[in-house]
Structures are given as C-alpha cells and as structure tokens.
Amino acid sequence: MKKRKPQTPEQKLAKKEMAKLRKRTPEEWVQRINSLPSKILPFAARLVWWDWFASRVVSKRWPHLDTHLKFCGEEAEFASLCEALITLGYPESAARRRADNHR
C-alpha cells in the first residue's frame, strides 16, 4: 500500500475552505453569482452548478441557477474566471484548477 504524502498547509486550508462552500444554500450561491460581472457570470455559474448541484437527483434538484446555465460556444478568459471563482469563495488553487478545465 502506498503511503500518502502529507498535505501542505495550502492544501489543508483549501480543504477547509471547500468544506465551508458545501454548506452554502442555493440562494446564497445565486446572490454571490449575480454580483459578478455579466461577461463572466454564466461561466462561473456553470462551474458552481457542476461542483455543487449536478449530483442531485431530479426530484431534489435546485433550479436556482437555471437562468445562467445556457451554454454558449464562447471561451471564458482564464484570469477573469479565476478571479470570479475566488470572489465566490473558492480557494485560489481550486479556482485555478477549475478555470483551467471549465468545459
């Protein structure tokens, strides 16, 4: 069995910050997402939906982000999407990882 590497302080902090995000209600997410610039808002909303709501079964689905989920063929600018995710509370390392793989 392989031994796990010890977590860095940044990884420990990121884990705690992500745990806080799990406790957010859909209403809190929508309020924060709606405060983002309109150009980046749909991209950030889709990532939030995938990260926090996509695993729900249809009967327990939360429609709060539906208005922002329409897909467009445009690409989000990496730096802007990173900044938006950090504004929403994502740890910097998680924001960079998600912004790099936002499709």
Query: 102 near 80, Cβ under 8 Å?
Result: no
Per-residue pLDDT at 103 exceeds 60? no
Tell me the mean pLDDT in the region 72-96.
90
Q: The whole model's pTM is what?
A: 0.79
Of all residues in the chain, the percent with pLDDT exceeding 70 is: 89
For residue 23, which phi and psi values (nearest 5 degrees)? Answer: -85, -10
- Return the SS3 of 68: helix
Q: Positive or negative CA dihedral for 55, 58, 60, 65?
A: positive
**Average confidence (pLDDT) over 8-22:** 77
30, two tokens? 């929508």
Query: Reduced to 3 states, what is the DSSP secondary structure of residue 28?
Result: helix
* Collapsed DSSP state (helix, strand, coil) of residue 84: helix
pLDDT given at position 43: 92
Dist CA 76 CA 41 (whole Å): 10
Name the pLDDT band for 28 (thresholds 50, 70, 90).
very high
pLDDT at 102: 58
